[in-house]
Amino acid sequence: MHNGALKIFTGNSNRKLADEIARYLGLSLGSLTVGQFSDGETSIKIDENVRGMDIFVVQSTSQPVNHNFMELLIMLDAFRRASADRITAVIPYFGYARQDRKDQPRVPITAKLAANLITRAGADRILTIDLHSGQIQGFFDIPVDHLFAAPLFIDYFKKLKLDDAVVVSPDMGSAKRARAFAARMNFSLALIDKRRPKANVSEVMNVIGEIEGKTALILDDMADTADSLVKAAEAVEKRGAKEIYAGCSHPVLSGLALKKINKSNLKKLVVTNTIPLKEEAKNCPKLEVLSIANLLGEAINRIHEGSSVSSLFV
């Protein structure tokens, strides 16, 4: 158990989620002033004593990505210089994760750069949800608790009592996640062979698995432009799926994503609140939002108490 008092703070990226986490823990959010200088630089001031305390900073690095990422770094630096005993960066959605390897010449490994910056800014450990790839945990030289939104999706889809369903991985990179989900739901598994000619553009090459006459459940970590998701739905419909659902942890929903989803053959896209929905998305009839707050709150409590978090890794 950590001897210092537990305190939750947040920046501007997802204050509503931070409020929900604090309520789950029976706490109020810590007092923190986040402002800007006239030229747009971020200004941070901690408005209460945090010396020797166990601090959890909740901040998704979602849109506006660079601004929210800098807010996180500056908050971490402020808590380190204010003599907090331990600082955990709670990053429900970890941006800059898609460039996690050199897959072509002269490109950066941005996920490693982001990990280095967060560590150097003052984080002692990381708590996050559904990283784009599990290997990113190894980019940090500090402990990483990597949780999954799967339990929320399992509860949701069990209530629908879907008959003869198949879990569809929209690409090979998501196959492990989809396979584990299919095993928990006792569903069959199908894979989509996808090619990306350039960033945010995908082409479905082939569908591997039995789809005809089944309810298809497409599972992925994020919906960004929704191009991959919509094309996967079209592909399984052509293979004879009778109904199509999708579950994505992170609703990035950039560009024309909402229009694509509304025009698609998806019956429902289930997401979590790791990223707050844009105003235009809140009335989308095909979107269902599940709260990740209790899962994160329980993880925070266990980290603070020094008890096992592994039972949440499902």
The total of other beta-carbon atoms located within 10 Å of residue 22's CB is: 22
Distance, in Å, from the CA atom of 69 to the CA atom of 95, rounded to the nearest integer, reads: 8
User: Please, what's the largest Cα pairwise distance for the chain?
Assistant: 61
Q: With CA atoms as reference, report the closest residue to 245 among 213, 216, 272, 205.
A: 216
Q: Do 83 and 128 form a contact (C-beta atoms < 8 A)? A: no
CA distance to 63, 234, 267, per residue, from 243 (Å): 32, 11, 7
Helix 110-121 and helix 65-81: axis angle, to 10°?
A: 30
- Mark whether 194 is an active-site residue: yes
Phi/psi-derived region of residue 269, left when phi > 0, alpha when psi is between -120 and 50, beta in every other case = beta
Q: Look-up: residue for tokens 């960033």?
A: 199
Q: Look-up: residue for tokens 């709260």?
A: 291
User: Parallel, antiparallel, or unpaired for β 188-198 and 201-208?
Assistant: antiparallel
Out of 194, 214, 231, 260, the active site residue is 194
DSSP classification of residue 138: G
Q: Enter the tokens of residue 7.
A: 């305190």
User: For every residue of 252-294, which 3-state class applies, written as one string?
Assistant: CCCCCHHHHHHHCCCCEEEEECCCCCCHHHCCCCCEEEECCHH
Q: Look-up: residue for tokens 């995908």?
A: 202
Catalytic residue positions?
194
